[in-house]
Structures are given as structure tokens and as C-alpha cells.
Structure 1
Amino acid sequence: MADSFSFEAIGTGWRVDTGAALLPGQRSHLLRLAEEYDALYSRFRTDSGVMALAAAGGSLPLPPHGADLGRLLRSLYELTGGGVSPLVGDPLAAQGYDAGYSLTPTQQPAPARAWNDVLTWTDDGLALREPAILDVGAAGKGQLVDLMVDYLRAEGHDDVVVDASGDMRRAADGTITVALEHPYDPTSAIGVVGLGTGALCASASNRRAWGDGLHHVLDARTGRSVDTVVATWVLAADAMTADGLCTALFLTDPADLATAFTFDYVLMYSDGRARCSAPLAGALFS
């Protein structure tokens, strides 16, 4: 790659690699995309759009890409029987993953409120009938990856990789080999996959864990951290979809998701077993 641009955004590290040099204005635009997205959806800053809804309910206009995110989250909500939900923010905060990162549970686990009881998400924006903390972390980081890739391609870059700490999308010829980091040992891998033009996203319960068995992947139906799956990887055409499916695979069988999405996957369970789609463009190590 001719150029590499690293920065911090939405609470994680990013790296953008391009086959041609990034212009200063293009770097600035990438940072602006991240800031605008964070200002809409972050539940860790008091001035964001979703935190205004958390205080008083009401409506929040969204840019055009908000409709895509809403449709994906609604589809995952239905396919998982409510397990994946943007209304999981309140249960997450109650278990200690709150705006102040207290990491101290304040309530017993409880289900998130039902989508139809509280939330309306249209092509123009979203609305809450009552105050609630929304969390779009199931697919939001992946969508921001897509927004950056789409912008760079529109700017004429035809050799691009955007990597947001485990969620990446590539637009280039050929294929690269990517290692699948072992969730219990970051110095080793459980396998490798080939990534051409498309996205590879990963999710692991150990990335944001605290207390006894508490981590950031909750089942919205119960408000409890998932304890059967410890890591997921998904290959899909875009990062928003791959990111969302990574979360959904903690909560439902891949066959349920395959009725609506085209993807490849790798799952690792808490007992050490691994499972993958067949055929997989890669290999798992024994």
C-alpha cells in the first residue's frame, strides 16, 4: 500500500490503507465522517443524538444511511426473536457498561423493552415513545467502515482497506490472507481466511468484559451476557451486514440467518469447539 492513515474514533483504533496517497482533505473527511457518526449514535457522550432521546424520548432525524442501519437491525431483531435489539442500551448500562464505564452492575439482568412498544424507525429517522438508551453497536461500527470505503472509492481510490480494530472492508483486486485471532490468546490464531473485495468482521466476548461472566454481548431477551459463544467472524459483501451478523451469531443458529443473508462464518464456543460454513475460503487450525 502506498499510504496508511491511523487514528482513534468512536472509542477504538482505525487504520486506512490505500494504493494511492491520501490527500489532506480526504483524511479530514474520514475524520469528519467518524465525528458525525459518533455525534448521532454514541451513548458514551452527553451531546449525542441518542442520549438526547435517552433523556426525554422524542424523535431524531437521520441521514440517508440511517435507513439502511434501521432495516438491518429490524431484520436481525426478527431473525433472533428479539435477541439483537437497539434497545439493549438500558440493560447494558444496568450491568455496568454505562456512559461512565462504571463496570458495576446496578440492577439484576432484565429484558430490553420490545421494539414495537417503544421504537419507530423509518427512512427519515427514529422516534422513541418514552426515554430509552439506544445502542447500535451490533452493526454501527461496520456501517462507518462502509461509509469510509464508499467515500474513498467515490474519490477514485480503487485499492482500499479500512480496518476498525477487527471490522474491515477491502476494495481491491486479488485476495489477502487474514488470521482469526484466538479469543483467549491474542498472540495466536484459530485459523485464516482469504479476503477479496468485501468485508470481514469479528466479535469476541473477551474484548469488553468485566466482573464475573459479564461482557458487552447481551441477549436482549434476558439482559444477560451470552455464555455459549465466545467469538464470531463473518465474511460478507459489506461491513455493516458482517458486523450485525457477528452479533446475531451469538444468539441464533447460522441457518436462521442464512434465510435472509449471504455470508460465510466461523464460530468459537465456550467449550473450545469451532464451527464454520462450508466451504470456507480459508482453514481452521486443529
Structure 2
Amino acid sequence: MATQPKQNPILPDHINNKNEHPLKDFLILAIAVVLLISAVTWALASSASWLAPRIPYEWELAWQDTSATTEQTSIDQPQQQTELALQQLLEKLIGENALPVRVHYLADEATPNAFATLGGHIFITRGLLENVQSENGLAMVLAHEYAHIKLRHPMILALEQLSLGLILALLGGDNIAQLVTQNTSMLTVLAFSRDMERASDEYALQRLLATYGHTSGADEFFKQIKKLEAKRSFSTTTETLDLMQTHPLTSERIEAIAAVTSIGELTPLVPQLKQQPNAESQNPHN
């Protein structure tokens, strides 16, 4: 009969004892987690382009509290008249069966700018009106911003940013995630991709051709912006700026418009939209 040992035998050192540094396993695990998170983020962001156009526009309007977005403390009569003239011009461009969109005039903003946000809102600054000379030039900008809304670009960006907020929340970055989700409507004005900008330019040119019978003046605002850009000093080369900007370069947009421009008579601005140029207008974006 076999004799049982009085105590457990001592195992040799090489059993269950890898001759590897413990940090190696940690690094492998960390890399795997990063790759997994990156894959999930990419999948969620990529699905936004597919999902956004399928979300009813009415849901977008309901999602954005229009009272919070459009409320202004005081609007004087000239500003109201300018805003009404902008709205009428947009409706002239897009027709009766277009998505409901409201145009807002930022009378106190000297930066030449226009942007579209969630919920069907387009914002036009005083600085922009100071840098257009014809209705056609302004119409190009308005139609461009409406195209962002029609093509659901703000919703696409909103879904991408919400996906980022979800990932950050899962990682424990609750404060950052909350900041992203709470400011989604305004963050969408910052990151339209180059493809989105080009698609919006193409749509705007189509609307100008349908409305006026030609596309003369479509590059008017961009030529003015190019002049303003030339007055600014850059510490980087044009090639570097080309890589860094999400918007196509102004010169690129002018060339693309010129390639399809048809000649016609420009329509003058109505009095409510005429503004005196301001030398302080700077830092243009569209």
C-alpha cells in the first residue's frame, strides 16, 4: 500500500512561473483595450452617416429645443427686417417643399461667417453681409448652409459626437462626456468635413442655377474672404494649412465654382441686406 506524503511537495520553480516581465501582460491587455475602443468608436461614427438620413427630420426638430436655440433678449426693428429679408431669400432659393428652416441674423457679430446647426437653424453674421455685393453672392452662402441641413450633416456630426460621449462615459470620463453631449448642437458647426462642404457647394450652385438661370456671383463672398486672408500672417505653409483645415481652402472653392460658372446679370441686394464694409471683419469661416 502506497504511503501518503506528510505534506504537499514543493513544486519546481519553472512550473507556472513564466520567465517574462509582468509589464508585458499589462501592455498586451492595454493595447487590446485601446484597439477594441477604437474599433467600437469607428463603428459607431461610421454608422452615423448611414443612420442620420433615416432619422425623420421632425425628430431632429423635437430633439432640439427651439425656444432655447432661437431665444434672443432683444431684437430691434432693423434687425428684424434684415432677418425677414434673409428668410425670404432662402425661401426663394429652396422653394415651397423644402425642409422648414429658420434664418437668424447676428447683428453684433463682425466676423464674416455663416453656419447651420441642429433643428434647422442658419446663422448669418453682420460681417458676412458686409462682404457680399449682390444677392447672388449671399444666395450662394444661404443655399450652402441649407444644403448642410438638407443633407443631414448636423445630425451626422451629432451622432458621431454622441458616440464619442458614450465611449468617454464607458471609460469613466463622465465630465468630458457630459460636456460633449450638452454642447452637441453648437459643436456641429465646427467640424463639417471637406466632403460635406463640397457636397453643399454643389447643391448651392444647383439652386442658384435654378433660381437665377446662371451662377454668376457664386464665388463673390469667397473672393472677398481670400482678400481678407491675404492680409493675415500665417506661420505655416499653404500645404500645411491644406492638411489641417476641415474646410476646403478658399482658393480651391473658388476654382471649383469657376469651373462650372455660367454668366448672367447679378441681382442687387435689397436695402435691408445692404451693409457698409467694416475693416474689423476678420477670421472668416464658412
Instruction: With the length of structure 2 as denominator, give the TM-score of the two structures.
Output: 0.29
Instruction: With the length of structure 1 as denominator, give the TM-score of the two structures.
Output: 0.29
Q: Which has the higher helix share?
A: 2
* Larger-Rg structure: 2
Q: Which has the higher strand share?
A: 1
